[in-house]
């Protein structure tokens, strides 16, 4: 446990998963007898739960005096939310995070996911007929989630208080305002203290990697929203302690933002070239394999996880090109096809 600022503690959790191996959970200690804040809940992993139980005990924080601000609804951020809620903690989340039950990047969100999954996978070109091996890998994830009885892969349903940009949360000497961080997900929120210059930035900007702008749903404009958000972040939070959920504080905010933007623009340009030189309309997963140099059938679980990620990133880039009139999108039998104008 590291104290990043007076009364703000960082706890690093490890999942042992191939997709996302670590996350930083932040705790803002409240005044004596007052409520405390936890930013995100962490992986639904029993070892992670034991670590957090020890941290909360060490800090003297009771569950009935704990608020948990869930920045977005991905399994590494919300996995343990239902456990904490059952013990008396209050949860806060942007209701926009519940717009969809499933996408091809993340596992089941419990409610409605079983019905949504086949349609979503089909929309990006993953079907039992055309890509049986990849389809079976997705089904294996479902079986593992069922076998673990909700641990590791699932996000069980939980009740929460809806949060929106502009909402204020006060703990100890801090006064945080919820701020919009759209792009990584549609409704991701962060927390910003303008006086203390502290920003919990979730997965919007991360050192060393390019955050996934992942969606499988059309007409959401996520990549364009992400670019707009990053431009604002670069100019308004440069003097802050910027605390992301992965890989440590961001010290060169402008440089990190520029690296992320250029990476997406380069990939979008490559995908545009693939469409221009393509001889036919292609599905999202076909474009993704060409753009990232992947085999038709993933060789192992690590390659399968990478394929899931690049399908989502490719879909976001294709949607961006479509919005900018550099790509055509058609739908046939529930499958999206892409080609150059």
Give me the chain's average pLDDT, please.
Answer: 88
Q: Could you tell me the pLDDT band of residue 239, with boundaries at 50, 70 and 90?
A: very high
Measured between alpha carbons, how far apart are the two ends of the chain, in Å?
A: 53
CA angle, 323 then 329 then 330, to 5°: 150
DSSP 80: T
**Cα gap 8→10, rounded to integer Å:** 7
Contact 66, 89 (CB under 8 A): yes
**Cα gap 181→202, rounded to integer Å:** 8
154 has pLDDT over 80: no
Q: Please give the pLDDT value at position 151.
A: 52
245 has pLDDT over 70: yes
pLDDT mean over 57-67: 96
| Structural domains in the chain, sorted by start | 1-319 (3.60.15.10)
Q: How far is CA 262 from CA 51, 266, 337, in A?
A: 38, 6, 26
pLDDT mean over 113-140: 81
Share of the chain above pLDDT 90, in %: 63
Contact 301, 239 (CB under 8 A): no
Nearest of 268, 300, 196, 271 to residue 239 by alpha carbon:
196
**CB-based contacts of 135, cutoff 8 Å, min separation 6:** 121, 126, 127, 128
Nearest of 116, 77, 87, 79 to residue 99 by alpha carbon:
116
pLDDT mean over 141-166: 72
**Cα gap 66→35, rounded to integer Å:** 6
Q: Tokens 């569950």 identify what position? A: 63
Q: Is 13 helix (H, G, I), strand (E, B) or coil?
A: strand
- Helix, strand, coil percentages (3-state) for the chain, rounded to 5, are 40, 20, 40
DSSP letter string over 311-338?
HHHHHHHHHHHHHTTS-EEEEETTEEEE
pLDDT mean over 115-143: 81
Q: Please give the pLDDT value at position 194.
A: 96
Q: Could you tell me the pLDDT band of residue 208, with boundaries at 50, 70 and 90?
A: very high
pLDDT digits (tens, 9 = 90+) for 70-109: 999 888 888 899 999 999 999 999 998 887 655 555 554 4
Q: Is 205 helix (H, G, I), strand (E, B) or coil?
A: coil
């Amino acid at each position: 446990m590291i104290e990043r600022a007076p009364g703000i503690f960082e706890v690093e959790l490890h999942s042992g998963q191939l997709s996302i191996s670590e996350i930083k959970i932040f705790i803002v200690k409240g005044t004596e007898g007052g409520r405390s804040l936890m930013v995100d809940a962490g992986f639904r992993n029993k070892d992670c739960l034991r670590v957090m139980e020890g941290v909360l005990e060490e800090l003297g924080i009771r569950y009935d005096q704990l608020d948990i601000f869930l920045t977005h609804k991905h399994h590494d951020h919300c996995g343990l939310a239902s456990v904490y809620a059952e013990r008396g903690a209050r949860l806060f989340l942007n209701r926009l995070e519940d717009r969809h039950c499933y996408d091809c990047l993340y596992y089941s969100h419990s409610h409605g996911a079983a019905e949504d999954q086949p349609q979503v996978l089909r929309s990006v070109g993953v079907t039992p007929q055309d890509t049986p091996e990849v389809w079976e890998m997705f089904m294996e994830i479902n079986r593992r989630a069922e076998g673990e009885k909700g641990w590791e892969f699932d996000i069980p349903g939980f009740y929460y208080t809806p949060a929106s940009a502009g909402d204020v949360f006060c703990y100890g000497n801090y006064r945080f305002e919820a701020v919009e961080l759209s792009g990584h997900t549609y409704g991701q929120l962060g927390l910003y203290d303008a006086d203390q210059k502290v920003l919990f930035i979730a997965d919007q900007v991360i050192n060393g990697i390019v955050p996934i702008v992942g969606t499988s749903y059309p007409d959401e404009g996520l990549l364009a929203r992400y670019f707009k958000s990053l431009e604002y972040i670069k100019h308004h939070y440069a003097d802050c302690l910027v605390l992301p959920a992965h890989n440590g504080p961001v010290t060169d905010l402008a440089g990190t933002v520029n690296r992320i933007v250029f990476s997406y623009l380069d990939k979008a340009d490559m995908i545009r070239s693939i469409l221009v030189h393509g001889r036919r309309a292609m599905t999202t997963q076909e474009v993704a394999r060409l753009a990232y140099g992947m085999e038709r059938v993933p060789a192992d679980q690590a390659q399968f996880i990478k394929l899931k990620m690049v399908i989502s990133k490719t879909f976001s880039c294709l949607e961006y090109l479509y919005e900018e009139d550099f790509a055509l999108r058609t739908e046939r039998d529930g499958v999206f096809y892409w080609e150059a104008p």
